[in-house]
Amino acid sequence: MNRIRGFGRLVPLAVMAVVLAGCSLTIQDGVLDSLAPEGPIAEDLAGLYWLVFWIATGVFVLVQGGLVYLLIRFRARQGDESEPRQVHGNAKLEVVWTVIPILILAAIAVPTVSRVFKYTECAPDAYHVDVIGHQWWFEYRYPEAGIWTANELVIPTDQEVCLSMESDDVLHNFWIPKLNGKRYLVPGQETTLLMLADEPGEYFGHCAEFCGLSHARMRMRVIAKEPSDFEAWLAAQDLPAVEPTAGSLEAEGLELFNSLACSACHLIRGVNNSSVSNVIAIGPELTHFASRGSFAGSTLEAEDPDALAMWLADPPQWKPGSFMPDLDLTPAQIEALVAYLRSLD
């Protein structure tokens, strides 16, 4: 009887675990929750997962239920000295439990294969954006508009966006869970990934392939805008950077940008270059830095007044391995640079 209580104790535990799990899956307040999809592709993928989840749950309940049942029914009872029949097997049963899984698998193979092809290739009328992975930030180039940006990928809604991706250094992996699954960025090879959002909004992402020291600090966002807003955004991004008024704190920041090491790696159109052509990006393009909601691999919020100062004071502290070094800036220099960068909308 001891044993039965042993297994009996498991039942409430298991029930509790399932209930807790269920609750936690209904919370869905996470920004990367793949089971709370918001775009049509991600919804389709989640639907496929749930289909298989329920089939698997059925199998799980049958097998584990059968296991618990037989453990209770066929336990050795005290005082019962009889021996069991020495059954060696049953050919019919072997066929049954070989064929049934094959049929189940064949059934889920159909939607699997069809979606592989559906979501791997871009439609000819898709809007194209080039994505380049760097340690540890994503760069976006809009070939039609001739603009570059970083960390936050802005796309139009209701329009298939085709990302042509490549890496500048190690492997990275572009993943916006609420819009689509993942795809690697490989140095020397182009990969493609579809993005499709039917609602305007901000969708969070995370580099999903281990890419060295600061893999955890490599995130990104997709900002979906109504087509008209998207056009307006493109037009605004095409303008050169705003010029600060002479004598202001911002102007002091611009001065520092040019005199310190900043301009060796970062591009501000109208300041250290007139166009984006023929430039190799080492750090993110900053022409319209203040139009973005986040920076430092989308790990810091632009609206947080202290975040930018903290970042400038010691980048490797926040992003170990960072190619932007600690420049030993004075608080006054940081203040000026922050003011200038925040003016670049």
Partner 1 sequence: MAGTLTRPTRTVFRRPSSTDGFWGWVTTTDHKRIGILYGYSAFFGFLIGGIEALLIRLQLARPDNDFLSAAEYNTLMTTHGVIMVFLFVMPMAAAFFNYLLPLMIGARDVAFPRMNALSFWIFLFGALFVSSSFIFGTAGAPIGGNLPGGAETASWLGSGPNGGWFGYAPNSLTTYSPGSAMDYYTVGLQVLGLASLISSINFIVTILNMRAKGMKLLRMPVFVWMTFVTAFLLLFSLPIITAAVFMLMFDRQFGTVFYDAAAGGDPVLWQHLFWLFGHPEVYIIVLPAMGIVSEVLPTFSRKPLFGYSAVVFAGAAIGFLGFGVWAHHMYASGITPVAQAAFGLATMTIAVPTGIKIFNWLGTMWGGKIRFTTPMLFAIGFVSLFVIGGLSGVTHSIVPSNWQQTDTYYIVGHFHYVLFGGAVMGLFAGLYYYFPHLTGRMMNERIGKLQFWTMFTGMNLTFAPMHWLGLQGMPRRTWVWFEEMGRGVGLWNLVATIGAFTIATSVLIFAINFIRSKRNGTIAEIDPWDARTIEWSLPLPVPAYNFAETPTITKLDDFWHRKYGEDDEGRAVPRPDLAEYLARLVEDGRNPKEVIHLPAPSYFPFLVGVGIFFLAYGLAYLAAGTGLPLLVTGALIMIGSFVGWSVEPLEEPHDSQEVDAV
Both tokens assigned to 150 = 């970083």
Q: Which of 84, 124, 247, 331 binds partner 1 (CB under 8 A)?
A: 84
Q: How many residues bind partner 1 (CB under 8 A)?
A: 104
Report if residue 5 touches partner 1, rule: CB under 8 A. Answer: no
User: What's the CA gap between 214 and 173, in Å, rounded?
Assistant: 14
Tell me which H or E stretch contains 163.
strand 161-167
| CB 174 to partner 1: min, Å | 9
SS3 115: helix
Q: Which residues between 140 and 169 bind partner 1 (CB under 8 A)?
A: 169
Q: Which of 11, 15, 56, 279 binds partner 1 (CB under 8 A)?
A: 56
- Taking contact as CB under 8 A, which single stretch among the options 148-156, 232-240, 309-317, 335-343 is the one that binds partner 1? 309-317
Let me know: does 174 contact 205? Beta carbons within 8 Å. Answer: yes
Report if residue 215 touches partner 1, rule: CB under 8 A. Answer: yes
Task: Please state the separation of Cα 190 from the chain's center in Å.
Answer: 19
Q: Which of 38, 251, 321, 335 binds partner 1 (CB under 8 A)?
A: 321
User: What's the CA gap between 271 and 89, in Å, rounded?
Assistant: 81
Q: Which of 212, 240, 309, 313 binds partner 1 (CB under 8 A)?
A: 212
| CB 55 to partner 1: min, Å | 9
- Taking contact as CB under 8 A, which single stretch among the options 230-238, 283-291, 302-310, 317-325 is the one that binds partner 1? 317-325
Report if residue 123 touches partner 1, rule: CB under 8 A. Answer: no
Pairing of strands 219-225, 147-150: unpaired
| CB 145 to partner 1: min, Å | 26
User: What's the CA gap between 31 and 221, in Å, rounded?
Assistant: 10
User: What's the CA gap between 315 and 327, in Å, rounded?
Assistant: 9
User: What's the CA gap between 299 and 295, in Å, rounded?
Assistant: 6
Report if residue 115 touches partner 1, rule: CB under 8 A. Answer: yes
| CB 231 to partner 1: min, Å | 30
User: In this structure, what are the phi and psi dihedrals at residue 286, rounded to the nearest 5 degrees?
Assistant: -115, 10
Report if residue 34 touches partner 1, rule: CB under 8 A. Answer: yes
| CB 7 to partner 1: min, Å | 9
Q: Which of 49, 227, 231, 345 binds partner 1 (CB under 8 A)?
A: 49
User: What's the CA gap between 275 and 146, in Å, rounded?
Assistant: 9
